[in-house]
Amino acid sequence: MTIRRKAAILLLLLLLGAFVAFHAIRRPERWAVKTGSDQSASNVNVTPISITLAEMNNWVPPSKDLNATRVGVELQVWKVNAVLKKFTLALDQDIHMQLIDDQGNTIVAELPDSSRVSNKSRFKPQITEARNAFLKHYSISHRWRVVDAPVSVIGIGFWDFYGLPVFDFFRRKFESSSGVARNQIELHPILQIDFLQR
């Protein structure tokens, strides 16, 4: 192996390590938004609006400000019918799901661990019920499990940005197989999941 190739591999590993470290220490304000314990959660319209994954992928993202409170689509509960392609238990104990439609559009939808959700969360009861409903169908682990199950999912819009373009770039590269939408929109948290007949 040449010195140049070794240096390139080392650089890649360093960048990957920085990416993982940044993922672990992301600003807690966005965790509050993710779990409905932020001050603006009271402004969320909880009447679900039906939407397609294609439409969600075409939403124009806001500025990537990790200090921002809820903006735009984060103030609305959405409902999508899609296929649950696969899921895994993430490092933060969220159940990380890839939703896909028949045109190949994907988004990430996540179910937080209710034990890690503040009791101040407006949505903790729904998060708990949705997670329990999921666990009645599937066991979870840190390995991806492919299920290809038709589902109806209700959740809150969430822009999952890392704040710095380099981290967003590496997220798209390393997490592309996890279903990250083109514009990084997610449903987070999931408030209800129904498993449909195939």
Domains of the chain: 27-195 (2.40.50.140)
Amino acid type, 157: G
**Residue 110 C-alpha from the chain's centroid:** 5
CB 45 within 8 A of CB 79: no
Query: Which among 163, 189, 30 has a CA at the least distance from the CA of 111?
Result: 189
At 114-150, the pLDDT tens digits run: 999 999 999 999 999 999 999 999 999 999 999 999 9
CA distances from 102 to 56, 145, 154 (A): 15, 19, 19
Give the pTM.
0.79
CB 190 within 8 A of CB 154: yes
Amino acid type, 96: H
Distance, in Å, from the CA atom of 163 to the CA atom of 117, rounded to the nearest integer, reads 23
Distance, in Å, from the CA atom of 183 to the CA atom of 161, rounded to the nearest integer, reads 9
* pLDDT bracket for residue 14 (50, 70, 90): low
